[in-house]
Amino acid sequence: MNAVNDPVPPSYDRWRLLLVVVGTLGAVASVAAPIAWMLR
Amino acid sequence: MNGIGAALFLFVLYCMYVVVIGPLLVVVGAVVMFGHVVVGTIGGLATARNTAPSVPQADGEDPAFRSYFLGQGRSDLVWTARTIFDTIAEVTDWLVAAHEDAFDESWYLTWPLILGHLVGALVGLVVIGAALVAQAIAMAIGFVLAELTRVALRSSDWVLGRIRRVRVVCPHPGCNHPIAYPGYRCPQCDSMHADVRPSRLGIAARTCRCGERMPTLVLLGSAHGKATCVHCLRPLEKTAGTMREVQVPVLGATSAGKSGFLGATFNALMADTGNRITRVRAAESSAASVQDLSGRAAAGMQLDPTGDHIPAAMQLYIEPTKGRELAVHFFDPAGELLRGDEDTMDQLGFLGHADRFVLVLDPLALPSVLEQLEPVAPDAVAAAAPTHEDQEQAFHNSVQRIAGRAKKGRLAFIVTKLDVLEGARALDGLDGTDSASVAAWLERHELGNLVRAARNGFSTVRFYGCSAVRPDGGAGLAALIDPVAWLLDLQATTPAPALAGVSAGATP
């Protein structure tokens, strides 16, 4: 059964949002960490 | 001189370009490319968030979505990585297309831009890569936590089940399979979920493909759903999986009085809550059959012979004064079935899963009893409709089928229809509440072989005598309850009151 068009449980959206936030934090950290290292 | 001057001028001009314009071009190129990489990736991911496919249902798998961290999350991570790689490929193509001629013609002018593009792409990819790594780490933590929770929940449920001695056996005729865990139908779309326990399809709850949430364990409330046998797909009681279930087949020859005994026992159990039982009620699915049988027994009606169909369990919930409530499945197979062929016997699956048995023996069919009774009470004998079947053979037929279980099982050996023997010489000092007395009486009536076979065939045997007709009064009711109480280990909270003629049957 191909489930591409199935309704997606609301919990998926919550977890995906969490991962986006975590990913964004990771990205920010990857920029901020070297800058902070250079400025210390 | 002019040539040298022009060359010097161009050199100074180029140096100014390199010092002033070059860094600007590097920065602009880097920012543009960084933005291209990051925005392109985020755009791709934003689209992916709405179109990322849910993990498809595997063959034979329940119709439920995967738990996010035990299936879908990994799929999403792969999807994210793929989107990033697509962006990298797109950026590389763009860089190559934009600068493929630059090295042939004007490389000395465009190199700051190329350098900026490369730096921007590199930094952008590092940032996106960091985001992907952060997501992967979060996913890994989520996966480990989900697995630990899954194992903890399943273990708790397993331990609780062992403590409560939970056991589920399908009560439906022709099935009677033991069930590791009840299946549940979705309350919304009625689709079957054969194993709802915590798995990659859900930890504390699962989501049916129709969107309905379902708890995964009895502990978490799954018992409120539509419990279903995973073998025959017929409905189970809501209590399935929440309490101990005991199967009690009632064996005996045709017309030995099995149904009468069972009906009278139901009445006795429901009437006498005494000091062993707090409450007895029939399960919803068996209410009609229990009521019918007990009603007929109470009215003293002659019961029709049990049809030769495979019997369904008659389920009673018994709440003992000590201990937890338990579900008892009584089976009343027709005597004809117990001497049936292999195929018929295979249908009596409950015989293979029970370890508590009742054997009903009709004393009126014993030649020595008939000899004494028929001349003095021929009408009573005729009304009691004694069996014409060889009861010893009927017993052997049954034991043959349950040999494996019997060795570990208990047998309550019931001599019934004692009301007909009342006052007659045939009663011969038989005390129905004394196991040794009943066994001795059977031996005196040429059933010594049967007594020995019963003792050899089962782990423990107790002999009882009772009457299914007019069991009014403490002694009569107790005589019917005693065998069931013994089979089910129902303990009294206080010593039993000294009823006349009532004492616990002694283990022979």
Q: Annotate B22-91 with three-state secondary structure.
A: HHHHHHHHHHHHHHHHHHHHHHHHHHHHHHCCCCCCCCCCCCECCCHHHCHHHHHHHHHHHHHHHHHHHH
The verdict on B135 touching A (C-beta cutoff 8 Å) is yes
Asked if pLDDT for residue B235 goes beyond 90, the answer is yes
Q: In terms of DSSP H, where are the helices of B217-318? A: 258-271, 287-298
> Average per-residue pLDDT in chain B?
82
Give the separation between CA B414 and CA B388, rounded to whole angstroms: 18
How near does any CA of chain A get to the CA of B406, in Å?
47
Do A27 and B130 count as a contact with CB atoms less than 8 A apart? yes
The verdict on B300 touching A (C-beta cutoff 8 Å) is no
Q: What is the pLDDT of residues B137-161, one digit of tens each?
A: 999 999 999 999 999 999 999 999 9
Of the partner residues B38, B68, B134, the one whose CB lies closest to the CB of residue A22: B134
Nearest to B464 by CA among B443, B427, B499, B434: B434
Of the partner residues B57, B76, B137, the one whose CB lies closest to the CB of residue A3: B57
Which range has the worst mean pLDDT, A28-37, B83-92, B239-248, B492-501?
Answer: B492-501
Do B131 and A26 count as a contact with CB atoms less than 8 A apart? yes
Give the separation between CA B156 and CA B261, rounded to whole angstroms: 41
Structure tokens at B61: 């798998």
Rg (CA), chain B: 40
| Chain B hits for A27, Cβ within 8 Å | 38, 127-128, 130-131, 134
Q: What is the pLDDT, as a whole number, of residue B498?
A: 41
Closest residue in chain A to residue B72, using alpha carbons only: A12
The verdict on B191 touching A (C-beta cutoff 8 Å) is no
The verdict on A21 touching B (C-beta cutoff 8 Å) is no
ipTM: 0.82
How near does any CA of chain B get to the CA of A10, in Å?
9
Q: What residues does B319 pair with on adjacent strands?
A: B279
Which range has the worst mean pLDDT, B54-63, B94-103, B490-499?
Answer: B490-499
Do A19 and B209 count as a contact with CB atoms less than 8 A apart? no
**Taking a C-beta distance cutoff of 8 angstroms, is the pair B327, B239 a contact?**
yes
Q: How many CB atoms lie within 10 A of CB A36?
A: 10
Helix or strand run (H / E) with residue B414: strand B410-415
Of the partner residues A6, A8, A23, the one whose CB lies closest to the CB of residue B131: A23
The verdict on B139 touching A (C-beta cutoff 8 Å) is yes
Q: What is the pLDDT, as a whole number, of residue B494?
A: 57
How near does any CA of chain B get to the CA of A7, in Å?
7
Closest residue in chain B to residue A21, using alpha carbons only: B135
Give the separation between CA B426 and CA B246, rounded to whole angstroms: 35
Q: What is the pLDDT of residues B366-384, one digit of tens each?
A: 888 877 777 777 777 777 7
B295: helix, strand or coil: helix
Instruction: Please report, as a single letter, which amino acid is at residue B152.
Output: A
**Taking a C-beta distance cutoff of 8 angstroms, is the pair B151, B74 a contact?**
no
Nearest to B359 by CA among B317, B326, B327, B387: B387
The verdict on B160 touching A (C-beta cutoff 8 Å) is no
Q: What long-range pairs does A30-38 form, CB within 8 A, spacing at least 24?
A: A30/B126, A30/B127, A30/B129, A30/B130, A30/B131, A31/B123, A31/B127
Distances (CA, A) of B280 to A12, A25, B74, B470: 46, 61, 51, 21
Of the partner residues B68, B126, B137, the one whose CB lies closest to the CB of residue A30: B126
Q: What is the pLDDT, as a whole number, of residue B48?
A: 57
The verdict on B54 touching A (C-beta cutoff 8 Å) is yes
The verdict on A24 touching B (C-beta cutoff 8 Å) is yes
Q: What is the pLDDT, as a whole number, of residue B497?
A: 47
Do B127 and A27 count as a contact with CB atoms less than 8 A apart? yes
Give the separation between CA A29 and CA B324, rounded to whole angstroms: 57
Residue labelled with tokens 């009632």: B250
- Answer with the residue of higher pLDDT: B347 or B331: B331
Nearest to B77 by CA among B14, B131, B158: B131
> Average per-residue pLDDT in chain A?
79
Q: What is the pTM of this model?
A: 0.75
Q: What is the pLDDT, as a whole number, of residue B227?
A: 93
CA B371 to chain centre: 53
Of the partner residues B68, B128, B135, the one whose CB lies closest to the CB of residue A22: B135
| Chain A hits for B135, Cβ within 8 Å | 19, 22-23, 26
Give the separation between CA B403 and CA B357, rounded to whole angstroms: 12
Of the partner residues A7, A12, A26, the one whose CB lies closest to the CB of residue B130: A26
Residues 6+ apart with CB under 8 A from B2: none
CA B188 to chain centre: 20
Give the separation between CA B469 and CA B383, rounded to whole angstroms: 12
Helix or strand run (H / E) with residue B360: strand B356-361
Instruction: Please report, as a single letter, which amino acid is at residue B491.
Output: Q
The verdict on B35 touching A (C-beta cutoff 8 Å) is no
The verdict on A36 touching B (C-beta cutoff 8 Å) is no
Helix or strand run (H / E) with residue B278: strand B277-282
Distances (CA, A) of B290 to B139, B203, B281, B484: 55, 39, 10, 16
How near does any CA of chain A get to the CA of B217, in Å?
19
B460: helix, strand or coil: strand
B396: helix, strand or coil: helix
Burial of B380 (C-beta count, 10 Å sphere; 0-12/13-18/19+): middle
**Half-sphere exposure for B5 (CA within 13 Å, toward CB):** 2
Q: What is the pLDDT, as a whole number, of residue B79?
A: 81
Structure tokens at B408: 């570990």
| Chain A hits for B134, Cβ within 8 Å | 22-23, 25-27, 29
Helix B258-271 to helix B474-487 angle (10° resolution) is 100
Q: What is the pLDDT of residues B11-42, one digit of tens each?
A: 898 898 888 888 898 898 889 888 888 887 77
Q: What is the pLDDT, as a whole number, of residue A3?
A: 43
What is the average per-residue pLDDT within B391-406?
72
The verdict on A3 touching B (C-beta cutoff 8 Å) is yes
Q: What is the pLDDT, as a whole number, of residue B289?
A: 87
| Interface-testing mutation among B31, B68, B76, with chain A (most A C-beta atoms within 10 A) | B68
Instruction: Please report, as a single letter, which amino acid is at residue A33.
Output: A
Q: In terms of DSSP H, where are the helices of B333-473? A: 335-338, 342-347, 350-353, 367-373, 378-383, 391-401, 403-406, 418-421, 435-444, 448-457
The verdict on B344 touching A (C-beta cutoff 8 Å) is no
